[in-house]
């Protein structure tokens, strides 16, 4: 295994958002995608990030399959957010710009493993600390495990573990055969 420290995108390397490990048969990414912030102040930066990070994923995916997991900071579909209408184009993580950015990952051949196995399941992995959101399950699904199309047949299951507490996020993961 080799850890790749410089992801080749100098502007983004300063924020320490990506760790890449190269294994014999695949690349493993752990990522924290920029949040668009209060009043969507970083939405333009987020849009640039999505484009450049996707290009980097595609560059490495041309060499071998990949798994990218982490906080992508976007609820991709209405099913991924408890209150879609009041948040749409008003809240960081649920703007059309962010949704389109994430859609480009999928259009490029990456698979949202949880949706692949659970197309109609309402499940969240992030809840605000405000107003008892977790207890009322008023959440968002913003953490993902994406795999290359070539890798998806090896994935046995994808899961979210909402009963694991200690953070405003809960674990997400996959079980995969190599």
- 151 closest CA partner among 173, 177, 125: 177
The answer on pLDDT for 16 being more than 70 is: no
71 within 8 A of 143, measured Cβ to Cβ: yes
User: d(Cα 35, Cα 83) in Å, to the nearest integer?
Assistant: 19
If one compares 98 and 16, the residue with the highest pLDDT of the two is 98
Q: How many CB atoms lie within 10 A of CB 151?
A: 22
Going by pLDDT thresholds of 50, 70 and 90, the confidence category of residue 129 is very high
Digit-coded pLDDT (tens) for 56-90: 999 999 999 999 999 999 999 999 999 999 999 99
At residue 5, does pLDDT exceed 60? no
13, 45, 56, 71: which one is catalytic? 71
Rounded Cα–Cα distance for residues 70 and 165 (Å)? 17
Residue 134, pLDDT above cutoff 70: yes
What pLDDT was estimated at residue 35? 95
Tokens linked to 62: 């041309």
Query: What mean pLDDT is reported for the chain?
Result: 93
DSSP 106-137: HHTTEEEHHHHH-TT----SEE-SGGGTTTTT
Query: How many residues in the chain?
Result: 178
Q: Is the alpha carbon torsion for 162, 167, 168, 174 positive or negative?
A: negative
Give the mean model confidence (pLDDT) for residues 148-165.
Answer: 96
Decide if 71 is catalytic. Answer: yes
173 SS3 class: strand
- Write down the pLDDT at residue 11: 67
Per-residue pLDDT for 4 more than 80? Answer: no
Question: Residue 67: its pLDDT value, please?
Answer: 97
* Three-class SS state of 176: strand
> What confidence category does residue 106 fall into, taking pLDDT thresholds of 50, 70 and 90?
very high
What's the domain range around 142? 2-176
- Mean pLDDT for 126-154 is 96
Quote the number of domains for the chain.
1
The CATH number of the domain holding residue 100 is 3.60.10.10
Percent with pLDDT over 90 in the chain: 89
């Amino acid at each position: 295994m080799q850890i790749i420290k410089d992801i080749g995108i100098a502007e983004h390397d300063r924020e320490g958002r990506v760790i890449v490990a190269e294994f014999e048969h695949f690349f493993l990414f752990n990522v924290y995608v920029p949040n668009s912030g209060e009043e969507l102040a970083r939405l333009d930066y987020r849009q640039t990030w999505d484009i450049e990070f996707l290009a980097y994923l595609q560059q490495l995916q041309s060499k071998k399959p990949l798994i990218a997991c982490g906080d992508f900071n976007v609820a991709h579909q209405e099913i991924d957010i408890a209150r879609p209408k009041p948040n749409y184009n008003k809240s960081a993580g649920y703007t059309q710009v962010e949704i389109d950015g994430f859609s480009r990952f999928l259009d490029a051949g990456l698979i949202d493993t949880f949706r692949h196995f659970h197309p109609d399941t309402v499940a969240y992995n992030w809840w605000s600390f405000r107003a008892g959101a977790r207890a009322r399950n008023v959440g968002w699904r913003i953490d993902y495990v994406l795999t290359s199309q070539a890798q998806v047949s090896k994935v046995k299951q994808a899961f979210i573990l909402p009963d694991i507490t200690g953070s405003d996020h809960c674990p997400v993961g996959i079980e995969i055969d190599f």
